[in-house]
Amino acid sequence: QSALTQPASVSGSPGQSITISCTGTSSDVGTYNLVSWYQQHPGKAPKVMIYEGSKRPSGVSNRFSGSKSGNTASLTISGLQAEDEADYYCCSYGPISTVLFGGGTKVTVL
Amino acid sequence: EVQLVESGGGLVQPGGSLRLSCAASGFTVSSNYMSWVRQAPGKGLEWVSVIYSGGATYHVDSVKGRFTISRDTSKNTLYLQMSSLRPEDTAVYYCARNLPPDYWGQGSLVTVYS
């Protein structure tokens, strides 16, 4: 039950776009179109930003978008804003009814 | 409105037991997949356990045989019974709806100290 692989940190200036990758295997990300992305501010519970790979919940800004290619899912934040500074986690359904999380990516707005 | 409220966390010595509760409102626990996810201090998220709507349960390898997930349909509440606790089980425990989760509780801190 290995975790999904994310970069430890990504940074960008206000207004720029950044992309966070989430690499799994053909047994999880590559098989299931059930990747979610979460935003977590310090001391707070995670908040879903993208579900089923590319769908946005009601109330989430359209600056957040998700995609998948093969065994890698991606989260793109366009028009970066100060409030986007947070930790981001990907999550995928996995084999034998398991759930895998990425190690998390700290997004810094310069 | 969907709400999840955890309780039952606290301090416990290694080898001890603790039961977490998660009271749900705005939906029916037994009709959904329900999970527990934990986050050790300064670390990332780790899925712990799931109970499917049909009642089947699964746990991450590190807690198998020690943790049990269950639910009470009359109380619309999810539980996590934790026994033989270890220092590495220290974390904030979140209950969450669905897989992958769509709604999360606010978390309950469990500290296993020696």
**B64: chain A residues, CB-CB within 8 Å:** none
Local confidence band at A97 (pLDDT 50, 70, 90 cut-offs): confident
Residue with tokens 């759930």: A99
State residue A41's pLDDT score: 97
Token pair of B7, please? Answer: 């309780």
B106 in reach of chain A (CB within 8 A): yes
State residue A81's pLDDT score: 97
Question: What average pLDDT values come out for chain B (114 residues) when binned by 10 residues?
Answer: 96 97 97 96 95 94 97 98 98 95 96 93
Give the C-alpha distances (Å, rounded to integers) separating A3 from A8, A78, A91.
13, 26, 9
Residue contact B100–A97, C-beta within 8 A = no
State residue A2's pLDDT score: 66
State residue A1's pLDDT score: 53
Residue with tokens 């966070």: A20
State residue A73's pLDDT score: 97
State residue A3's pLDDT score: 85
- B74: closest CA of chain A, how far (Å): 26
Question: How confident is the model over A2-50, as pLDDT tens digits?
Answer: 689 999 999 999 999 999 999 999 989 999 888 999 999 999 999 999 9
At residue B65's C-alpha, the angle toward residues B59 and B66, to 5°, is 90
Question: How confident is the model over A13-26, as pLDDT tens digits?
Answer: 999 999 999 999 99
How many helices (H) and strands (E) chain A has is answered by 0, 9
The DSSP secondary structure of B41-76, one letter per residue, reads TTS-EEEEEEE-TTS-EEE-GGGTTTEEEEEETTTT
Given a cut of 90, is residue A96 above it in pLDDT?
Answer: no
At residue B25's C-alpha, the angle toward residues B21 and B29, to 5°, is 65
Show which residues on chain A lie within 8 Å of chain B, measured between beta carbons: 1, 3, 34-36, 38, 45-48, 51, 57, 89, 91-93, 96-104
Question: How confident is the model over A53-75, as pLDDT tens digits?
Answer: 999 999 999 999 999 999 999 99
